[in-house]
Structures are given as C-alpha cells and as structure tokens.
Amino acid sequence: MFEKKTVNGIDVITLSNAFGKAEISLLGAHVTSWVPAGEAPVLWMSKKSFFEPGKAIRGGIPVCWPWFGGAKKPSHGFARIEMWQFAGVYELPCGATQLVLTLDEAALADFPFHAQYSVTMGRSLEVVLTVENRGSVPVTTSGALHTYFAASDIADVRISGLDGASFEDRRVSAEKVTGHVQDGEIAVDAEVDRLYTDTTADVIYSDLGTGRSILVEKLGSCTTVVWNPWIAKAAAMPDFGDEEYHEMICIEAANAGPDERVLVPGVSHTLAQKITVL
C-alpha cells in the first residue's frame, strides 16, 4: 500500500505493509522515515532540517552522488537536491513493498546519465542506487548512501564489524590523515569522521540504551563512512540542532576516496545498503 502527499511543494510517498511504514521524499529520493512494525524509528531526522526545493534534507538516507564530500558544490553532489521522478510502486511476493524513482537530468550534470533508485521495505529496508553513463566518454564518480541512525544517546553507541580495517581520519579540514587501523568496536566520545577503506564487511550497530542491534549490509562498496559532528560542527550547521549530535550516528555505504568508480560509456554501477533490526 502507498499514499502520496505534498509538503511545501514536494511529493512524499508513504509505504505501508505488515512489516512497517516508510516515507520517501521525491526531493533527493530521500528516505526520511522507517518504522518497522513494533519498533521505534530506525532513522534519525533533524528537527531543524530544511524541507524545501533546492536544499538538502538533514537526516534519513540522503543520496550522495555523483561526488562525495564538499570539494565541489553542492556538497555531496546534486542527486540529493534534485526532484526525482516517480516510476512505480510494486507489491512483491514476499510481502515487501518496493518504490522505484528515476533521475535523468540535472542542471549541474556534466555528462548524460540515467539513475534509478529503489526502496524496498519488508523484513529489512533495502535501498539500491544504479547509475548508467549514457555519454560518450568515461566519467569518474563517487557517492554514498549517507544513512543517519537514531540513537538513545551517542554515549551508548557501539559499532562492530570494522575491527582491523584501515581508515582515513577526515577531521582535519585541509588534508586527509591516513594510516589508522580500527582496534575493536567503535565508541564515540568526540567528533568522528572516518572513511574505512578496502572493506566490504557487514556492520552491526548496537544501542546500549535501548538494547537494540541493527545489521547494516552493503553491495557495490569497498568503503564505509562513520560520522558524528560532535559539538562544534553541530553548532555550525544551520539545519542541525546544537544538541542533536547526541541523537544520531551515520553509517554509510560509500564509493569514496580510493573507491571512486570509473563508468565507461554504457556501463552502470550499483550501490546498495540493507538494514535489518536484529
């Protein structure tokens, strides 16, 4: 079952079935909510998020593409500020519901492309971004499924599955600090901005405050980003409450840094993330 409503001139699709409920904005193909049946919300949204054309939504699952990071503008690419096209909703034999959105044009695009994004809500929530280069020359792209998970308190967040993985510490504004290796599980007591490289590992996010654990799987990605802005960066962002860093953690399937992808003409790449409450 699905419903469509319009908020501030933006179409929002609500999916509902026996497994739960999800909301997806056509602005940015952005999943803003997922509430599995009998569970608290899995995704976090800022109370100060913009929700208007031309501005990125803060929280949920932003689609970052065709570049990752702030070296080019807009930060994290144009896909998350474009209006995507509704392509259909499908009821799958397993009882899951799938929404399909497409994007074929963008004012900031410098090569022809076709992007398809599907959101499948069943026992798990699965998001899949597939992009094809429809131009005549190779292009280099990067991106991420920039998932914001809700937390009871950041002090209670634990992330496992990346033990032994190398990472870049991106807290330094002008340069990337490389050569770090994760030792054990991740706990957060300061700003965290890490790009874990050469890893396809599944991650388990545990919230000690609620006792809930969440499995985060991915496809088409050899990098995983873990991010929390902490005090100073939270205060500096107009669409992020000063104290909201306590309430969230980002765990992202990414193609970034050494994992950028070269798309030759006619070739596509798929980046996917699957989220399951254990």
Q: Which residues are catalytic?
A: 146, 252
Q: What is the pLDDT of residue 143?
A: 97
Taken in order 117, 162, 199, 74, the sign of the CA dihedral is: positive
Compute, in degrees rounded to 10, the torsion defined by CA atoms 117, 119, 125, 128: -20
Residue in the block written with tokens 């469509």: 4
pLDDT of residue 176: 74
The parts of the chain modelled with pLDDT lower than 50 are none
pLDDT at 70: 82
Q: What is the dihedral of CA 174, 180, 182, 188, to 10 degrees?
A: -30
pLDDT of residue 69: 87
Domain ranges (residues) in the chain: 2-277
Q: Determine the CATH number of domain 2-277.
A: 2.70.98.10
